[in-house]
Amino acid sequence: MHPENMHLFHGNILYARSRHELAVYENSYIAVEDGVVEGIYETLPEPMLSLPVRDFGEGVIIPAFSDLHVHAPQYPQRGLAMDCLLYDWLNDYTFPLEAKYKDPEFARAVYDAFTNDLVANGTFHACIFGTIHPEATGYLLETLEKKGLSAYVGKVNMDKASPAYLCEKTADSLQETEAFLEKYAGNKTARPLLTPRFAPTCSKELLAGLGRLAAKYEVGVQTHIVESKWEASQALLDFPDASSDMGIYEKAGLLEHGPVVAAHFIFPTEEDIRLLKKYNGYAVQCPDATVNVIAGIMRNSFLATQGVRLALGSDIAGGHSIGIYTQAARAIQLSKLKWFYEPEGNNPIGFPEAFHMATRQGGELFGRVGAFEKGYRFDALVIDGVEDSFLTLTPEQKIERFFYAGTKDNIVAGYLGGEPVSLQ
């Protein structure tokens, strides 16, 4: 213990100890040394008594959120065309918007706003899709790196079954992706991740080439997996020698060299589940997007019992809210609907499970973040202002209310590696 390198914070402290158990320390202190948690104390030990304390009173100190599936270029589209189904939404709105990112000035304006809003809503770790445009996507990655946010960012690859203005030539897509990987390989916090949009928009040659880049640069992959029944069946029509949607990426050599992030994962086969577990991948539930484009409801409780890692994604702009806390609340709601109409193998999840997905389990992708055990990086939020004057709430109740009825205004402070973060 080196008190001269230590910062002390006081308040109600809450984090997920496991999927079903919350650790709660009321009226306690958390000691942070060189940016990582040293310990939690009900009363301070003698060597710490002379140190200054940042006191948050009745506020609740929780780990910062992790968003494992978000489309930064779709940020201007959030909350728009939500009366469309997926096909029309993509072709009439999303793809024309993504084409605009060939203009670096437009990209800079959007990505600055997107990054600021991400931080303001308490998301300090994210797995992000860019577009096919390497310059624009590079600016996004650089912006996240400057802020010290933990992120994986991908230049999107798509060389078929796409609008002509977004359809890459295979060789160009691979060449630009390799240059992107080389340029940002040395980044400390915001790093590149291979990002084939999804199997029906990628040729066998493109995926095989990305597999070679995965091995050469030791980098992982993020993509949409069995998001819809159409996507799941079309992927196997395009890749008839694959065992499943996940099997397409395994055959291409994309699953064994880094993080594997499977967005949506709504209609997995047993083989999809087996492969995701084999490579320690993440199934990312995007609750708002499920409601908006009517893809289906992830079987999160079933997948958890199968040993699948579960996380949450805002899926801007299929989802309309960038706050992961709102996605956690919606995940609970959808789990009850799934159980009510399809009870076999599906159970409602509770607040602890949703909190675990939003913080600890999603945070595992980025290292020792998402909890407050000794040695975890102090990436933290302070939540306050959700309590009524006429009723006292426990720390758990305050965060539950925040998930359902809170806004970014209830995030009164943020810390990244123990250092204060501007939320404005």
Task: For residue range 152-169, list pLDDT tens digits in order.
Answer: 999 999 999 999 999 999
- Has residue 146 got a pLDDT over 80? yes
Domain end call among 326, 349, 366: 366
- Mean pLDDT score of the chain: 96
163 with 229, same domain: the answer is yes
- What's the mean pLDDT in 262-289? 98
317 with 172, same domain: the answer is yes
387 with 261, same domain: the answer is no
Mapping DSSP to helix (H, G, I), strand (E, B) and coil, where does residue 12 land? strand
Task: For residue range 92-102, list pLDDT tens digits in order.
Answer: 999 999 999 99
For residue 81, what are the CA distances in angstroms to 30, 91, 111, 375, 388? 45, 11, 21, 45, 36
Band (11; pLDDT cuts 50, 70, 90): very high
Domain end call among 322, 340, 366: 366
CB 40 within 8 A of CB 28: yes
- The rounded distance, in Å, linking the Cα atoms of 29 and 342 is 44
CATH code where residue 326 lies: 3.20.20.140
Give the strand pairing for 260-264 and 380-383: unpaired
Q: At what angle do helices 104-120 and 134-147 cross, to 10 degrees?
A: 30
Task: For residue range 35-44, list pLDDT tens digits in order.
Answer: 999 999 999 9
359 with 401, same domain: the answer is no
Band (362; pLDDT cuts 50, 70, 90): very high
169 with 58, same domain: the answer is no
71 with 52, same domain: the answer is no
344 with 385, same domain: the answer is no
Closest C-alpha among 280, 403, 319 to residue 70: 319
- What's the mean pLDDT in 26-54? 96
39 with 155, same domain: the answer is no
Closest C-alpha among 18, 62, 21, 68 to residue 40: 62
- The rounded distance, in Å, linking the Cα atoms of 158 and 400 is 40
For every residue of 47-64, DSSP letters joined together read GGTTS-EEEEEEEEEEEP
124 with 43, same domain: the answer is no
- What's the mean pLDDT in 191-198? 98
* Number of domains observed in the structure of the chain: 2
One-letter identity of residue 251: K
pLDDT the model gives residue 86: 85
The sign of the dihedral angle between the CA atoms of 352, 299, 318, 155 is positive
Closest C-alpha among 90, 108, 163 to residue 318: 90
241 with 346, same domain: the answer is yes
Structural domain of 150? 65-366
Mapping DSSP to helix (H, G, I), strand (E, B) and coil, where does residue 6 land? strand
194 with 220, same domain: the answer is yes
Give the whole-number percent of the chain exceeding pLDDT 90: 95
- What's the mean pLDDT in 398-413? 98
CATH code where residue 26 lies: 2.30.40.10
Mapping DSSP to helix (H, G, I), strand (E, B) and coil, where does residue 323 land? coil
- The rounded distance, in Å, linking the Cα atoms of 34 and 31 is 10
**What phi and psi values does residue 27 have, to the nearest 5 degrees?**
50, 55
The residue assigned the tokens 């506020």 is 59
36 with 144, same domain: the answer is no
Model pTM score: 0.97
For every residue of 110-162, DSSP letters joined together read HHHHHHHHHHHTTEEEEEEE--S-HHHHHHHHHHHHHHT-EEEEE-EE--SSS
- What's the mean pLDDT in 225-252? 95
Task: For residue range 305-343, list pLDDT tens digits in order.
Answer: 999 999 999 999 999 999 999 999 999 999 999 999 999
CB 100 within 8 A of CB 171: no
